[in-house]
Amino acid sequence: MKIAVIGGAGVRTVIFINGLLARYKALHIDEVALYDINQEKQQIITKLCRHVVNRNHKDLIVTESADVRKVLQDADYVVTTLRVGGDHSRVMDETIALNAGVIGQETTGVGGFSMAVRTIPILLEYCRLINEIAPNAWIFNFTNPSGLVTQALKSAGYEKVIGICDAPSSTKFRMAAKLGVDEKDLYVEFFGLNHLSWIRSVKIRDEEILPRLLADDAFLKSIQEFSMFDPDLLRMIGFLPNEYLYYYYHREKALANILKSGATGGQTIEQVNKQMMEELKAMDMDADPEGALQIFLYYMQVRENSYMSTESGLVKRPLLEKGQLEVPDGMGYAGVMLDCIEGLQSKDGRDLVLSVENQGSIPGLEDRDVVEVTCHVDETGIHPVRVEEVPEHCYLLMRLIKMYEKEP
């Protein structure tokens, strides 16, 4: 089987390949084909990907082409991971918002809307090509704002599209580690929209523990996603939050922190990516592929360390030096996608958080509304769990944002 990646020059592609190495045989994946309009960057990322494969003594084939049709040919799965306009477009979105006195963030509010306006027409054209060249392929949309973009693609009639976000799976991973249980033994049920969701149930071997977790200040402070929030607020809500709810529940604090820092998240990422690519371009990657990989991993560490630190005021983690860094296991976006593929190929299936059509999962929303919910994925398809009751404060916020997402 073949995975095609549109936007293959993205820095996360290297981590995606590394995550795939542990599972590609079981998932019957033979080839990953990369396409990007930035061919110079594409060739650098392709070399890093191939080195990751070679250093692990695997036989996964990584190809790249300037011809998107060639990349899509015979694809069974397609990943869309675009940043239309490049890194600087994000900087402009966030800066314009801040100049108007509102939060500048790439996936929520006016920043997310601007990104969607640039992105959706391009993705619709790629989906048209996918329907023509690989009509049976599943499309995994990693492109942000994932919920809004997935809604647009679904509304345009592209049925085999799944929105992917790593925030819920990363939260579950950290919760399992803190609770000292295997991730597969921890059931964490989300409901809502992408970057606007809540955890309504946490179970260990069918025992509900959410009330206990909400009452435990030490636990709340120990999980990065929850530590940003006022514990009393979470107890009043009665749910654990997706981290992006910080921009709604602590809006004034987030805006003040961004303005005080003097730099947006986009500016930080743009500078990190620029420095990384300059160093990689200046070296002979063929002669020293491991040195190139260590440069890449160092800057990815800097990048990840900056994540939501400006808005939340959280202390950054210490950085490790080049030469001491291991490639992340691909737990994030890639892990969710691979879990979904595994589920679709199996009888027993997997429980995953995905952006899919509602189909009665959340009462009060339309069946065709794209929601982010826990789904059971197996060989018969993708089945969202049913949420029996939604508190009014959650429902009103979801309805407001869903109306915005569906406006023509």
Catalogue the active-site residues.
Answer: 166, 244
Strand partners, 34: 5, 64
- Alpha-carbon span 161 to 355, nearest angstrom: 9
The Cα–Cα gap between 29 and 7 comes to 19
Kindly write down the DSSP assignment for every residue of 191-229, as one continuous string. Answer: EEETTEEEEEEEEETTEE-HHHHHT-HHHHHHSHHHHTS
Contact 203, 246 (CB under 8 A): no
Residue 374 structure tokens: 């826990």
Contact 79, 3 (CB under 8 A): yes
- Give the side-chain half-sphere CA count within 13 A for 258: 27
- What is each CA distance from 52 to 20, 84, 329, 394, 401, in whole angstroms? 11, 27, 11, 43, 40
Token pair in block for residue 117: 């306006």
340 appears as a binding residue in the annotation = no
CA 345 to chain centre: 22
- 305 appears as a binding residue in the annotation: no
- Look-up of token digits 């592209």: 158
Q: Are 295 and 275 in contact (CB under 8 A)?
A: no
Residue 90 assigned ligand-binding role: yes
195 assigned binding-site residue = yes
238: left (phi over 0), alpha (psi -120 to 50) or beta: left
Which residues does 137 contact at the CB level (< 8 Å), separation at least 6? 4, 72, 75, 76, 77, 78, 130, 160
Known binding-site positions for substrate = 90, 144
Known binding-site positions for Mn(2+) = 165, 195
Known binding-site positions = 90, 144, 165, 195
